[in-house]
């Protein structure tokens, strides 16, 4: 038997610690980074975990998952061309300077996608903490999209994304998926 602090010293009893598992506990964390070093292998592994997370969004996540996975695959291709030289993600990107290249563009889009999902979960967390969570997640998705992706997409992609939002899961469905049932 264990207890989880729910804030203000309110505790809930948890019989089995496996019941508190979430998808987040199963994902690889991103490696510690600084301005001179980011472990490429660790970054790619953690990014693959995001693909697993996106899969939990159901039909809404399918095209996003494909896009994110494509960017991870391109980065992996460049990484595998010279693993010792590309072990540091910063060095891999610098090797493409000044012309840019597949790794630079893929990382740019992957980063935008990661920021989109981070923003989505931050918005959800904020409303949860203020007891204002809505079951319809479209508003959270659209806000995150507006902040991190809209300006990088042409009109057609913006309209496609708008239509895709109609396939967003409901809050209770996503939470059940994140909590592994």
Does residue 14 lie in a domain region? no
The residues facing 13 across adjacent strands are: 3
Does residue 9 lie in a domain region? no
Does residue 28 lie in a domain region? no
Rounded to an integer, what distance in angstroms lies between the CA atom of residue 57 and that of residue 63?
A: 11
Total tally of structural domains belonging to the chain: 1
Q: What is the pLDDT of residue 164?
A: 92
Query: In which residue ranges of the chain is pLDDT below 70?
Result: 1-20
Does residue 135 lie in a domain region? yes
Sequence length of the chain is 181
Q: What is the pLDDT of residue 102?
A: 94
Does residue 27 lie in a domain region? no
Rounded to an integer, what distance in angstroms lies between the CA atom of residue 130 and that of residue 119?
A: 17
Q: What is the pLDDT of residue 80?
A: 95
Instruction: Output the pTM of the full model.
Output: 0.82
Q: What is the pLDDT of residue 143?
A: 95
Q: What is the pLDDT of residue 19?
A: 54
Does residue 132 lie in a domain region? yes
Q: What is the pLDDT of residue 79?
A: 95
> How do residues 156-170 score in pLDDT, each as one tens digit?
999 999 999 999 999
Check which CATH number belongs to the domain holding 144 and give it.
Answer: 1.10.3520.10
Rounded to an integer, what distance in angstroms lies between the CA atom of residue 69 and that of residue 24?
A: 18
Q: What is the pLDDT of residue 10?
A: 45
Does residue 8 lie in a domain region? no
Does residue 98 lie in a domain region? yes
Q: What is the pLDDT of residue 51?
A: 93
Range of the domain at 98: 36-180
Q: Over the chain, what HEC string results?
A: CEEEECCCCCEEEECCHHHHCCHHHHCCCCCCCCCCCCEHHHHHHHHHHHHHHHHCCHHHHHHHHHHHHHHHHHHHHHHHHCCCCCCEHHHHHHCCCCCCCHHHHHHHHHHHHHHHHHHHHHHHHHHHHCCCCCCECHHHHHHHHHHHCHHHCCHHHHHHHHHHHHHCCEHHHHHHHHCCC
């Amino acid at each position: 038997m264990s207890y989880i602090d729910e804030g203000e010293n309110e505790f809930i009893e948890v019989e089995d610690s496996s019941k508190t598992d979430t998808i987040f506990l199963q994902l690889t964390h991103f490696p510690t980074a600084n301005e001179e070093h980011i472990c490429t292998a660790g970054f790619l592994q953690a990014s693959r975990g995001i693909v697993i997370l996106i899969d939990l969004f159901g039909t809404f996540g399918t095209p996003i998952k494909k896009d994110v996975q494509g960017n991870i695959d391109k980065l992996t291709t460049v990484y595998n061309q010279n693993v010792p030289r590309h072990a540091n993600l910063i060095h891999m990107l610098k090797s493409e300077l000044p012309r840019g290249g597949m790794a630079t563009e893929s990382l740019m889009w992957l980063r935008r996608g990661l920021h989109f999902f981070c923003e989505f979960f931050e918005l959800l967390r904020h409303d949860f903490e203020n007891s204002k969570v809505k079951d319809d997640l479209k508003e959270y998705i659209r806000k995150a999209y507006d902040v991190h992706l809209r300006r990088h997409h042409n009109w057609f992609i913006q309209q496609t994304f708008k239509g895709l939002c109609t396939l967003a899961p409901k809050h209770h469905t996503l939470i059940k998926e994140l909590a592994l049932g």
